[in-house]
Amino acid sequence: MTGGRGRFYSRRAVRALVIAAWLGWLPGIRAQLPSNPATLTDRGLGLAQEGRVAEAADLWQQALKTAPDYFPALFNLGYMHFSAGRLENAKPFLARAAAVSPSDFNAHYLLGATNQKLDRGDEALRAWNRALEVRPDHVQLMQVMAVEYGKGRYHREAADIAMRALRLRPDIEDLHYMAIHACREAGDLDAGLKVAADASTRYPRSARASFEYAWHLQKDGRFAEALPFLRKAIQLDPNYEEPHFFYGDWLVKQARYEEALEPLGKAVALRTDYIPARISMARALMGVKKWKEAVDALEEAVRIEPRHPQPHLLMSQVYFRLRDRPKARAAKELSLRLRRQNPTFLEAVQSRPFPD
């Protein structure tokens, strides 16, 4: 806790106390205080702590009448509304708080969080960027921002901030995976490869790190180099389905269908609801002309996710090969109908730059 009793009425101390009070860390703060903004704010704090939030809000509003730019009252009102889920009410107070105290991390952060909950991702990111200017080393905020940039399809910016977080804290394993994912979404596979290589070196016992490195090596056209890392990932965590799927799917893409069956079978066994693995398995079975088994695999995928168009599409191809054109047509029509009903299953949207 900064400030302390000796600086009780300072803005910073008041803010710290507000925060503490909301968390119940500092019971019993209530005193007879003069009616100036600071006094009103502290009295409000005490009331709030007793659960008398409406009365607290009145006091903070009174404080603002005497000093409209009084930061503690603005922040407290904003935070009160935020905590109660009244986000539209919280936003103007927090925006004013951030404006009157631009060096206050919490105001910018909470304004961003409010906007984020209001589905105003761009405004959230703008507020968080200002928070980062105050606390340029705040790695956790960078993680939140990377996710939010990704949601907005600002993949380049997501990659930039994920990489920034990683540079600050290369000792945190998850930051590597966040950066790898963000770089992949941004289409920067070269950067992703470097991070993955570093992660595999730093975390030699991590199946995930080995797998990510293998994935990037393969995308870099170096499958021979990738294979030992895939095997290592499987060895380190035999229950990790991704390396099995990735290897099997790669074999399918190389038309090595027979070989693909084993790793894909393992992936499906480890994660029964793994639709992409089941689809790839079906393609492998089609490649070796095991039509009935392919239909079985696809029907299982349909059972798990009936809305997905792709299993029906492949089923139409299997039946067409079997010269059962009515069944092929029915599967096709169902696939097309599902595609229109659930476009996100088979839709890739573009990334875009964060607007100025």
Partner 1 sequence: MRIQSLLPLCLAALVPAHLPAQGVASSNAQPVKALEASGLPWEAVFVDVADDAGLDLVFTYGGRETKDYIIESNGSGVAFLDYDGDSRLDVFLVNGSTLAGSPEADAPTSRLYRNVGDGQFEDATARSGLGRSGWGSAVCAGDYDNDGRLDLFVAYWGRDALYRNLGDGRFSETAPTAGVAGSPDEWSSGCTFVDYDRDGLLDLLVSQYQQFDPGTAPPPGKTSNCEWKGMPVYCGPRGLPFGGVTLYRNLGDGAFEDVSESAGVRDVRDYYAFTAAAADFDGDGWQDIYIACDSTPSILFVNNRDGTFTDYATEAGVAFNEHGFEQGGMGIGVGDFNADGWLDLVKTNFADDYPNLYRSSEGLFFEDICVRAGLASNPRYVGWGVEFVDLDNDGWQDIFQANGHVYPELERQTKIAETYAQSNLVYRNLAGKRFEDVTSLSGEGLRQARSSRGAAFGDFDDDGDLDVVVMNMAEQVSLLRNDLPPGGSWIRLALRGTLSNTAAIGSQVTIEAGGARQTRAVMSQSSYVSHNDLRVHFGLGDALHVDSIRVRWPSGQEEDFPKAAAGATWLLEEGSGEAREVP
Nearest distance from C-beta of residue 19 to partner 1, angstroms: 5
Nearer to partner 1, 220 or 262 (CB): 220
Nearest distance from C-beta of residue 273 to partner 1, angstroms: 16
Nearer to partner 1, 202 or 253 (CB): 253
Long-range contacts of 246-252 (CB under 8 A, 24+ apart): 246/211, 246/214, 246/215, 246/218, 248/277, 248/280, 248/281, 248/284, 249/276, 249/277, 249/280, 250/218, 250/223, 251/284, 252/280, 252/283, 252/284, 252/287
Q: Which DSSP letter does residue 348 get?
A: -
Nearer to partner 1, 234 or 249 (CB): 249
Nearest distance from C-beta of residue 86 to partner 1, angstroms: 16
Nearest distance from C-beta of residue 125 to partner 1, angstroms: 13
Structure tokens at 9: 């009425």
Nearest distance from C-beta of residue 22 to partner 1, angstroms: 7
Nearer to partner 1, 106 or 210 (CB): 106
Tokens 């079975």 appear where?
Answer: 285
Residues at the interface with partner 1 (CB under 8 A): 19-20, 22-23, 105-106, 109-110, 113, 116-117, 140-141, 143-144, 147-148, 150-153, 187, 189, 219-221, 253-255, 309-310, 313-314, 316-317, 319-321, 325, 328-329, 332, 335-336, 339, 343-344, 346-353, 355
Nearest residue to 315 (alpha-carbon basis) of 124, 348, 306, 128:
306
Tokens 């900064």 appear where?
Answer: 2
CB count within 10 Å of CB 56 equals 24
Contact 41, 76 (CB under 8 A): yes
Nearer to partner 1, 240 or 257 (CB): 257
Contact 332, 316 (CB under 8 A): yes
Nearer to partner 1, 32 or 344 (CB): 344
Nearest distance from C-beta of residue 154 to partner 1, angstroms: 8
N- to C-terminal Cα separation, the chain? 37
Nearer to partner 1, 35 or 254 (CB): 254
Nearest distance from C-beta of residue 206 to partner 1, angstroms: 22
What is the spatial distance between Cα 259 and Cα 152, in angstroms, rounded to a whole number?
A: 40
